[in-house]
Structure 1
């Protein structure tokens, strides 16, 4: 089984390495999945059940403000939520960054509002849009939690086949450029205490391994002047 996993991971990392040629440089504290070290971490990861269903549906955000919709589409498809039907797909369509905005989702956050100031989605709005698809959602602001609780929750849910975790963090807090960002988690490696972020802005950064403490600190930041809550994470299941 581990051999099959290694082959799959190596192939995916090789595909990523091609795209990474145009991405921004990473600080030394972060490990790219597309490196031999990053691929080895995934092969040995203690919690990686979520990785494959998410990687199959890996989505690049359509514009700089759409990290939330891209992450939501990935999770809806990974959870195998009944897809919207269309004549083109014979009723077997996939969720994308447009059709996630059902009337119920639009009532939470209209698609057009995401590309206008203050841009993007808050943690609560991400949770609300997911809940609008009849999913069980828990929104946790980092200021209301702690590192140990986040770590244990994420490890447990990354290791089962029912939950997915989306994180909302400040890029500059992990020495990236530059503002708030949303992406799903894919795995956890205990030896290095790192989480794998499946970054949906693949034109900017590859999937990365980030130390748990650094990620939590990046989530424990105030979202914006117009939203005085901290960032954090969303746990979602059917």
Structure 2
């Protein structure tokens, strides 16, 4: 008997490309060769799954703060000083984030109040070419990361 829910849903193709697919591996190899995957290894070293469905922004930010080696200034569990999505509540209470989600602006606020240098780009405030240049520049560095907020429906996802 199958349980209801989302489990291993296939990505809509196009436009999505599964990371572990031959095409995904080829894109990864090309980007690595071109020097635009510099931050990947630090990020993947700190990867964590979000603990709540609405914590996608929080989990993403926790991975980045850990990759940047920013000290959380407090312990996570036991003696471990580590960012976790459940620790990121200085701009909006976790109970509200769990119920309502979090906006792009609040994620930027959280990054800033935890010690990250933040530059927020909104689609109505910059061009696509400016955005692409920034992503390429950031992806060519180990110490610059991009969080992108978007509507999954555009990519035929739920």
Q: TM-score range by the shorter chain?
A: 0.7 to 0.9
Provide the TM-score with structure 1 as the length reference.
0.58
Provide the TM-score with structure 2 as the length reference.
0.86
Name structure 2 gaps, 5 residues minimum: 1-6
- Residue 48 (structure 1) aligns with: 37
Which structure has more helix as a fraction of its residues?
2
- Residue 8 (structure 2) aligns with: 23
Equivalent of residue 78 in structure 1, options 58, 67, 72: 67
Equivalent of residue 152 in structure 1, options 106, 128, 133: 133
Distance 2:68 2:51 in 1: 21
- Residue 96 (structure 2) aligns with: 113
Q: Contact (CA 8 Å) 2:76, 2:82: kept in 1 or not?
A: no
- Residue 143 (structure 1) aligns with: 124
Distance 2:55 2:115 in 1: 22
- Residue 100 (structure 1) aligns with: 88
Q: Detail structure 1 runs of 4+ shifted over 4 Å in the superposition.
A: none
| Worse-matched range after superposition: 31-40 or 77-86 | 77-86
Distance 2:127 2:77 in 1: 48
Alpha-carbon distance change, 151 to 93 in structure 1, aligned in 2, over 3 angstroms: same
Name structure 1 gaps, 5 residues minimum: 1-21, 178-238
Match runs of 1:4-19 below 5 Å: none
Distance 1:96 1:86 in 2: 7
Q: Contact (CA 8 Å) 2:76, 2:83: kept in 1 or not?
A: no
Residue 169 in structure 1 maps to residue 154 in structure 2: no
Distance 2:68 2:93 in 1: 23
Alpha-carbon distance change, 133 to 37 in structure 1, aligned in 2, over 3 angstroms: same
Alpha-carbon distance change, 31 to 86 in structure 1, aligned in 2, over 3 angstroms: closer
